[in-house]
């Protein structure tokens, strides 16, 4: 049955979505798991569309992840098929056959080779995904594809999400204005090691696949790989970036580095889209009532700072303290100390809501908890840690851990 979870108190409305030239998409009800809601999304891309992808680092990935990884070296895409409700993971030969049959059916409709069809699935693990439900629904869905189908697609890929997620930006590329727009889904089983959920971004820019890949790989490092709901890396996650070329900008060479001056505006706009989508996922963390922004400075390296920030964001004790609106800075110190990164209690400082609570191994003399108590009652919680060891810094985002998370996951398969 369709989920009826209350909308997250951290939810944000959809932005005004635009048409991305060279992209048509839509959603349909295929009855894969849910009743009375869409659960199958199809997107078709103009001939010549290039593609980049970043995938989960899980050692037990779903069949669609394997399919996309195998297709990615060609760098071309003509279609994308996504289903919600069944992850097509741990389904053996049947899972591979479902991928093959689905890609062949979509390729026939798009007029391309099956290898130019990208696949993604999200939902329950370990149940056979009957491809007939998808292949039967695809022809009518293809007939109904529209350049205005972005919101329908955003809703069609939801599982335990309580609101649809999308982001959009424009940028100048070689003197031509281009559009970047994306959708995402994610609420639980969210932790970095790419990806963290499903996200699909399209642009009408003309860019070689190698350049797209460099931009995407760089962009996820400080966006998707800096968020965590529950420290659990999914088997199915991916971020795909498609470039249709319909904007007609002067193309760059395959060897253009991601930090090239010509890519500055596009790179920044893409990062903003990825950042927005990642933030929306955290805002929809299962049972979440508070968004945690964790800033770490003074680490021996940026990588070390990231590990410390993620240790804080993943700590059940920190997350439950935030849920209970308790400014328990001792739990933050605990998380710093346990993560295996260089730290020294005598150089460590902790701030919450901009108020320094602990410094040089002890509580700040005369510390007034009143403004911190007020800060903890809000939806946005700011935690800052300075390790006092070096110049490394990082920022991560997490959410609180409430009984709602247990309620959602304790009944996920029922």
Residue 196, annotated as binding a ligand: yes
Q: Nearest 5°: phi and psi at 402?
A: -115, 175
Classify each residue of 236-246 as buried b or exposed e, where b means 16 or more C-beta atoms within 10 Å of its C-beta. bbbbbbbbbbb
Q: What kind and span of H or E run contains 271?
A: helix 264-283
Answer yes or no: are the C-beta atoms of 196 and 39 closer than 8 Å.
no
Residue 185, annotated as binding a ligand: yes
For 50, the token pair is 């290039």
Which class for 385: exposed (0-12), middle (13-18), buried (19 or more C-beta within 10 A)? Answer: buried
Residue 253, annotated as binding a ligand: no
Answer yes or no: are the C-beta atoms of 204 and 20 closer than 8 Å.
yes
Q: Name which of 293, 44, 11 is nearest 164 in CA terms.
A: 11
Distances (CA, A) of 43 to 26, 103, 118, 122, 275: 7, 12, 10, 16, 23
- Starting at the edge strand that comes first in sequence, how are the strands of the sheet with 40-45 ordered? 23-28, 40-45, 79-86, 117-124
Residue 303, annotated as binding a ligand: no
Residue 314, annotated as binding a ligand: no
Classify each residue of 179-196 as buried b or exposed e, where b means 16 or more C-beta atoms within 10 Å of its C-beta. bbbbbbbbbbbbbbebbb
Cα–Cα–Cα angle for 397, 187, 334, rounded to 5 degrees:
40
- 3-class secondary structure, 185: strand
DSSP-derived letter for residue 301 is S
Catalytic residues: 196
- Spatial distance between the Cα atoms of 182 and 239, rounded to a whole number of angstroms: 10
Q: What is the CA radius of gyration of the chain?
A: 22
Residue 391, annotated as binding a ligand: no
- Spatial distance between the Cα atoms of 46 and 24, rounded to a whole number of angstroms: 9
Residues that constitute the known binding site for substrate: 159, 185, 196, 286, 409, 414
Residues that constitute the known binding site: 159, 185, 196, 286, 409, 414
């Amino acid at each position: 049955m369709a989920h009826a979870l209350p909308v997250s108190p951290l939810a944000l409305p959809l932005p005004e979505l635009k048409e991305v030239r060279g992209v048509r998409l839509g959603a349909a009800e295929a009855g894969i798991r849910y009743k009375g809601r869409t659960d199958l999304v199809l997107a078709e891309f103009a001939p010549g569309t290039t593609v980049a992808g970043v995938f989960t680092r899980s050692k037990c990935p779903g069949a669609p992840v394997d399919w996309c990884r195998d297709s990615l070296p060609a760098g071309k895409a003509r279609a994308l098929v996504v289903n919600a409700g069944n992850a097509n993971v741990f389904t053996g030969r049947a899972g591979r056959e479902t991928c093959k049959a689905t890609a062949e059916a979509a390729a026939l409709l798009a007029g391309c080779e099956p290898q130019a069809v990208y696949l993604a699935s999200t939902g329950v693990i370990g149940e056979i995904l009957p491809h007939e439900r998808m292949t039967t629904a695809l022809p009518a869905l293809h007939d109904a594809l529209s350049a205005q189908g972005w919101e329908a697609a955003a809703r069609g890929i939801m599982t335990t999400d309580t609101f649809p997620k999308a982001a959009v930006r424009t940028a100048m590329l070689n003197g031509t204005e281009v559009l970047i727009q994306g959708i995402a889904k994610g609420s639980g089983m969210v932790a970095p090691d790419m990806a963290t959920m499903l996200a699909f971004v399209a642009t009408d820019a003309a860019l070689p696949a190698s350049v797209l890949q460099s931009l995407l790989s760089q962009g996820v490092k400080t966006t998707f790989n800096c968020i965590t709901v529950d420290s659990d890396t999914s088997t199915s996650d991916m971020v795909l970036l498609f470039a249709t070329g319909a904007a007609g900008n002067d193309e760059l060479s395959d060897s253009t580095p991601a930090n090239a001056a010509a890519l500055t505006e596009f790179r920044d706009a893409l990062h903003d889209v990825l950042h927005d989508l990642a933030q929306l996922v955290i805002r929809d963390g299962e049972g979440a009532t508070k968004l945690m922004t964790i800033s770490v400075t003074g680490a021996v390296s940026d990588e070390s700072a990231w590990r410390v920030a993620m240790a804080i964001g993943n700590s059940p004790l920190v997350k439950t303290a935030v849920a209970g609106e308790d400014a328990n800075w001792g739990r933050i110190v605990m998380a710093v100390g346990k993560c295996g990164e260089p730290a020294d209690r005598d150089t460590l400082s902790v701030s919450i809501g901009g108020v320094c609570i602990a410094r040089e191994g002890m509580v700040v003399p005369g510390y007034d908890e009143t403004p911190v108590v007020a800060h903890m009652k809000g939806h946005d919680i700011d935690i800052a840690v300075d390790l006092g060891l070096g110049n490394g810094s990082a920022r991560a985002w997490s959410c609180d851990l409430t009984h709602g998370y247990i309620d959602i996951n304790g009944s996920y398969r029922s």
